[in-house]
Amino acid sequence: MDKFEKSGKHLEKVKLWLNPSIKPNSAEQSLAAITYVDVELASERLQRFAPLLEHLFPELKDSKGIIDSGLLALNIPLDIPTDCGKLWLKADHTLPVAGSVKARGGIHEVLEFVEMVAIKHGLLSDDKSILSLVEPTAKDIFKKYSVTVGSTGNLGVSIGVIGAALGFKATVHMSSEAKEWKKAHLRERGVNVIEHQGDYALAVAAGRQDALDDEYVHFVDDERSTSLFAGYAVAAERLMAQLQSLDIKVDEENPLFVYLPCGVGGAPGGICYGLKEFLGENVHCFFVEPQESSCFQLQMVHPEQANISIYDVGQNNKTEADGLAVPVASQMAVEMMRTRLSGVATTNDDYLFADLYLLKEYANQRVEPSAAAAVSGPRALFNTKEGKEYLEKNHLTNKMNNANHILWATGGLFLPPDEYHEFWSRGKRAAKTLFG
C-alpha cells in the first residue's frame, strides 16, 4: 500500500506556475547558448549516420536508420472539461534503441564524437561510405576511446547502447534512483555500470571527473552539453512534418499546447526551443515535474541563485519517476527557457500511477511513471486558477475548442513486464482513489 492510501490524507493537487518572463515576440528572445543552425547540423548528422544506425540496429530497418515515434490520437477519460480541444500522445515511449526521449539527444552526441574521432584518424574522407566505420580498422581505433555519462537511468541507456554498438568503451555512472533493470540492460550490452549511493548530481560529477584531461574519454554532460540539446531539438522539425500529415493546424485560431516531463530540463528544453522556432507564440509549452523534485521550476523562480537545489527548499527527491528525480536544473536549459516556456506544472506519484493505468486501459500504451507526468499537464492548465489566468491573459479561452494538446510520453519501451505490472496495479488503486 502506498503512503497516500495508508494515511488517507488529502492529496496535494496538481499545481501550475506561470513563467512571468515569457516573451511572445521572437525578436525579444533571450540570447541562446545554441542557435537554430546547431539544430540543423544535428538533424543533418542524424540523417548522414542513418545507414550506419540501420546496420547496427536491425529494428531500424523500416525507418531506414531514423529513430522517431508516432503522434497518436488519444482518447482517455481525463478529469478536465470536455470541450477543450483534442488530445494527442507523442509516443517517445516507443522509441527504438534507447526506449526514451533520450534517444535523439544522446545518440546525436555520441555520433558527433565518433565523427570527430573518425575524421581525426582519416576514416571519413569523401570517398568512404559511413558504413566503413564498422570495419575492423575503424573498430581498432574506436576501442581506445570511451564515452561516459552520469544518469538516473535513461540517458545512460541511450549513451551506453550506442557507444558500445560503435565499439567504444562505455561507462555509465548511475545514481541511487536508477532501476536495477536499467543497469542489467546495459551490462548485457557490454557497458560498464558504476553504481553510486548519491543522487543524480553526484553521478554526473563522478562522470565529469573521469573524463578530466583525457582526450580518449568523452563525457556527455547532461547539465551543459549543447550537442545533446541540439539533438533533442531535432524532435521539433520532425513533429512539424507529423502535424502536417495529420492535418493538425497551428495558428492564432488553433493553438497548440505541449506538455513535457522534465528532469534537468535538457530534453524538454530542446523540444520546446525547436517548437518555438517553428510556431512562435502559437505553441504553448509546459513542463511537468514531481512536487518533490521540481528543480526546474525552482531555478526559474530564483534566477539570482544559480544551481539552487530542491533540498534547499525542503523537497526530498523521492519519486518513482526516476527520469525526473533530479535535484538541480541544467543552467543552460533554464536560460534557454527563460523567455520561451509558458509554465511548469507539478504533480505527484499518485497521479503518475493513475495516469500510467489510464494510458494502458484506454489507449493500450505502456509508459513508465516519468512519462505519465505529461498527463498532469492539461489537468494543471484546466483545473487551476493559474491555468485559467493563462488562457484569459493570452485570449485563448474561447479558442480551446480548436486547440490541440500533445502529451509527450517520454519513456517505457524496455520496462520489464513484472515491473510494469506492479506499476499498473498501483495505478489501478490510485485511479480508484482519485477518480472514483
Ligand X SMILES: *Cc1c(COP(=O)(O)O)cnc(C)c1O
Binding site for ligand X (CB under 6 A): 100-102, 154, 261-268, 323-324, 368, 370-371, 410-411
Min. distance of Cβ 264 from ligand X in angstroms?
4
Which residue is nearest to ligand X, using beta carbons?
263
- DSSP, collapsed to helix, strand or coil, labels residue 198 as coil
What's at 145, amino acid-wise? Y
- Nearer of residues 100 and 404 to ligand X, judged by Cβ: 100
C-alpha 197, offset from chain centre: 24
Min. distance of Cβ 94 from ligand X in angstroms?
12
Q: What angle do CA 150, 219, 102 make, to 5 degrees?
A: 55
Min. distance of Cβ 152 from ligand X in angstroms?
7
Min. distance of Cβ 266 from ligand X in angstroms?
3
- Nearer of residues 54 and 368 to ligand X, judged by Cβ: 368
Q: CB burial class (10 A; 0-12, 13-18, 19+) of residue 335?
A: middle
* Count of residues making up the chain: 436
Q: List, in order, residues 6 or more apart from 23 with CB less than 8 Å away.
A: 29, 30, 339, 340
Min. distance of Cβ 76 from ligand X in angstroms?
19
C-beta of residue 290 within 8 angstroms of C-beta of residue 307: no
Instruction: Give dist(CA 173, CA 183) in Å, integer.
Output: 10
Task: Give the residue among 285, 291, 277 at the shortest CA–CA distance from 236.
Answer: 277
Task: Give the residue among 382, 271, 419 at the shortest CA–CA distance from 336.
Answer: 271
Task: Give the residue among 290, 305, 382, 383 at the shortest CA–CA distance from 344.
Answer: 290
- Nearer of residues 85 and 323 to ligand X, judged by Cβ: 323
Write out the three cell numbers for 303: 534566477
DSSP strand E in 160-232: where? 169-174, 192-195, 217-220
Specify which residues 89 forms β-bridges with: 72, 407
The residue behind cell 566505420 is 133
- Nearer of residues 145 and 315 to ligand X, judged by Cβ: 315
- Nearer of residues 267 and 407 to ligand X, judged by Cβ: 267
| Element spanning 413, H or E | none
Min. distance of Cβ 229 from ligand X in angstroms?
9
Min. distance of Cβ 135 from ligand X in angstroms?
33
- Nearer of residues 243 and 267 to ligand X, judged by Cβ: 267
- Nearer of residues 264 and 354 to ligand X, judged by Cβ: 264
Min. distance of Cβ 9 from ligand X in angstroms?
27
Min. distance of Cβ 106 from ligand X in angstroms?
9
- Nearer of residues 167 and 261 to ligand X, judged by Cβ: 261
| Element spanning 288, H or E | strand 283-290
Per DSSP, the residues of 100-147 read: BTHHHHHHHHHHHHHHHHHHHTT---TTS-GGGGGSHHHHHHHTT-EE
- Nearer of residues 145 and 259 to ligand X, judged by Cβ: 259
- Nearer of residues 84 and 344 to ligand X, judged by Cβ: 344
- DSSP, collapsed to helix, strand or coil, labels residue 409 as strand
Q: What is the DSSP letter of 19?
A: -
Min. distance of Cβ 262 from ligand X in angstroms?
5
Min. distance of Cβ 17 from ligand X in angstroms?
16
- Nearer of residues 78 and 272 to ligand X, judged by Cβ: 272
- DSSP, collapsed to helix, strand or coil, labels residue 410 as coil
Specify which residues 380 forms β-bridges with: none
